[in-house]
Amino acid sequence: MDYKLMLTTFGMIFLAELGDKTQIATFCFAAEGKSRLAVFIGSACALVLTSFIAVIIGCEVSRYIPEAYIKRGAGILFVILGLWMALYPGKG
């Protein structure tokens, strides 16, 4: 197992998820106070499943598209989405 890759992935995903909509939604469900364990298990399973789907799709896409193109495409997409959100903010 590539521990450096695993720790890098953990660090990047952990930082990216802090304060995002998923964490806020989980916070709200937990605040209801009915079953914090159920909220934790539900949110953890959802994150694991979405990560699994991303890994499977990423592996398949990388079979047909070179890694450099994928990285450039992802970078361009992030810039476009960032500009879109900055120029056209939601109404709240």
| pLDDT tens column, 56-65 | 999 999 999 9
Residue 91: pLDDT band with limits 50, 70, 90:
low
Which backbone phi and psi does 66 adopt, to 5 degrees?
Answer: -60, 145
Residue 92 belongs to a domain: no
Predicted confidence (pLDDT) at residue 92 exceeds the cutoff of 60? no
Number of domains composing the chain: 1
Confidence of residue 33 (pLDDT cuts 50, 70, 90): confident
User: Residue 75 carries which side chain, given as an amino acid letter?
Assistant: G
Range of the domain at 40: 3-87
Nearest to 17 by CA among 48, 41, 42, 39: 48
Q: How far apart are alpha carbons 16 and 51 in whole angstroms?
A: 13
The three-class DSSP label of residue 81 is helix
Q: Is 66 part of a structural domain of the chain?
A: yes
Q: Is the pTM of this model over 0.75?
A: no
Name every residue whose Cβ is closer than 8 Å to that of residue 62 and which is 6 or more positions away in sequence: 70
**Mean local confidence (pLDDT), 26-48:** 92
Residue 41, pLDDT above cutoff 80:
yes
